[in-house]
Amino acid sequence: MGFEETTPIQEQTIPLGMQGKDVIGQAQTGTGKTAAFGIPMIEKINKDLKAVQGLVIAPTRELAIQVAEEVNRLGKNKGIRTLPIYGGSNMERQIRALRDNQIVVATPGRLLDHIRRKTIKLENVHTAVLDEADEMLNMGFIDDIRDILKALPEHRQTLLFSATMPKEIRDIATTLMKKPEEVKVKSKEMTVENIDQYYVEIPEKHKFDTLTRLLDIHAPALAIVFGRTKRRVDELSDGLQARGFRAEGIHGDLTQGKRMSVLNKFKRGRIEILVATDVAARGLDISDVSHVYNFDIPQDPESYVHRIGRTGRAGRKGESVSFVTPREKAQLHLIEKLTKKKVERLHVPSSDEAKRGQQQVAVDKIKETIDANDLNKYHQAADQLLQDHDASEVVAAALKLLTKERDEVPVRLTSVQPISVKGAQRDKNKNKKNYRKDGNRNFKRSGNNKSRNRKFNSKGKHGFQNKKRNSNVN
Ligand SMILES: Nc1ncnc2c1ncn2[C@@H]1O[C@H](COP(=O)(O)OP(=O)(O)OP(=O)(O)O)[C@@H](O)[C@H]1O
Ligand SMILES: [Mg+2]
């Protein structure tokens, strides 16, 4: 797969996995936890036994598909096949496919359906993995997980992985495991060092204009904008489209087909902005995501870690910006306490700065075109133009043509209540129920494997450094 060295979590947990130990593995987002459990699982599969021997459980359909794809690639040379099973897809076809796959990656709901209908045989499962384990052991899923684990052989290895692992959840976890080894990759911060983290303090009513300005200034390759509710996501993606961005929304009320198609378009770069609820917060591995915007600050500090972790993966650089209304400052502090990392304040950009940002994109395009050195066909026309016009005039006209001038159509969003720290605690339980069940939180990964040949690195920082205070928001 082009990997040159193991990541720390892989180095520390693969040997334990091989020894048959139960493991709770915690490491930052994008650091290769999938292979950390996938490699030892594949190593222990008996190729000659045509039965399910390894089981991975993941919270969303699309994550199940992505993990199955990665494990499939890892097991390819050994001839080990991995099947994703998830709700919303054809049951009969899954039952047939189950016959020749030795590893299954499943969402809890659909797996329980198969267990209850006795359409899956689990007596040969020797390794079970809970990916995003703290999520899987949270209110929404815990009962299903207990039922699933009961259906597995007593003699088995259980592996739990996540970037976050609150203590209460870890305590529940240990009751489901046999003397687990706890591996926590040592790092100062819970978030990845190569994500530059910023916040803007801003009243609710100015958030949208600020978002579009930041998008113009940052010119992200691919960006994810997180909103708090499904309605919010719909309104945001409509608003962004109205201002000329290629944006689409994804949340639990859309059909499976629609979610898949939006996500695939995003991976191929046919849309540049994915607007999402927390349904897209965990596990998704899309390498070109350069920016994450928390349009609404997350209710749950753990969710912040996962959301911003959609960028800065496998040693790449990333940036995150969280919008905080004045009454939500306490929530930001709670996040900083969990991540042990200070989030830097970013000044709110003015509309002039946004315009300069758009022009800069045009300037960069021109520079890239010059560097590409393929202009022979244009020189004659260029010389002609320069005879008749001043050089600066010609370049300015070219820039004007290349600059996407933003149509500042007014966009009004339904306002939402600010998050209060107390409210966040109270709402937590209520919320977990909302995304329960197989189906609401799902994504797929494309076969986009470019840029695989690389080492993990976390090189020095770069990026915008506009930390001046200024709240000029017109
Ligand atoms: N040793 C390695 N060297 C280089 N790239 C790797 C290595 N191991 C895994 N990767 C790649 O790193 C990316 C991130 O891996 P993965 O999705 O497993 O991260 P994760 O730790 O599960 O993150 P999250 O907490 O967000 O789920 C993937 O594209 C994966 O193929
Ligand atoms: Mg993962």
Tokens read off for 30: 């994008």
Cα separation, 321 vs 472, whole angstroms: 17
* pLDDT score, position 406: 81
Residue of the CA atom closest to atom 14 of ligand 1: 30
Residue of the CA atom closest to atom 1 of ligand 1: 6
Cα separation, 468 vs 470, whole angstroms: 6
* pLDDT score, position 469: 27
What class does CATH assign to 193-351?
alpha beta
Q: Domain spans of the chain? A: 8-185, 193-351, 421-458
Ligand 1 neighbour 35 (Cβ under 6 A) = yes
Distances in Å between the Cα of 56 and the Cα atoms of 66, 98, 106, 138, 469 are: 12, 14, 6, 17, 47
Mutate to test the pocket of ligand 1, among 10, 33, 307 (most ligand atoms within 8 A of CB): 33
**ipTM of the complex, rounded to two decimals:** 0.99
Q: Which amino acid is at 373?
A: N
Fold agreement between 8-185 and 193-351: yes
* pLDDT score, position 422: 61
The string of pLDDT tens digits covering residues 199-248 is 999 999 999 999 999 999 999 999 999 999 999 999 999 999 999 999 99
CA of 164 to the centre of ligand 2 (A): 11
CA of 32 to the centre of ligand 1 (A): 3
Q: What are phi and psi of 229, to 5 degrees?
A: -125, 170
Ligand closest to CA 33: 1
Q: Which residues contact 355 (CB under 8 A, 6 or more apart)?
A: 216, 406
Provide the 3-class DSSP secondary structure of residue 9: helix
* pLDDT score, position 139: 86
* pLDDT score, position 419: 83
* pLDDT score, position 187: 86
CA of 310 to the centre of ligand 2 (A): 10
Q: Which residues of the chain have pLDDT under 50?
A: 424, 426-454, 457-474
Tokens read off for 379: 């020189």
Q: Quote the CATH superfamily of domain 8-185.
A: P-loop containing nucleotide triphosphate hydrolases (3.40.50.300)
Ligand 1 neighbour 448 (Cβ under 6 A) = no
In the chain, what's the furthest Cα-to-Cα distance?
85
Closest C-alpha among 268, 266, 272, 221 to residue 243? 272
Give the rounded distance of the alpha carbon of 376 from its chain centre.
43
CA of 312 to the centre of ligand 2 (A): 13
The string of pLDDT tens digits covering residues 384-410 is 999 999 999 999 999 999 987 787 788
Tokens read off for 33: 């936890």
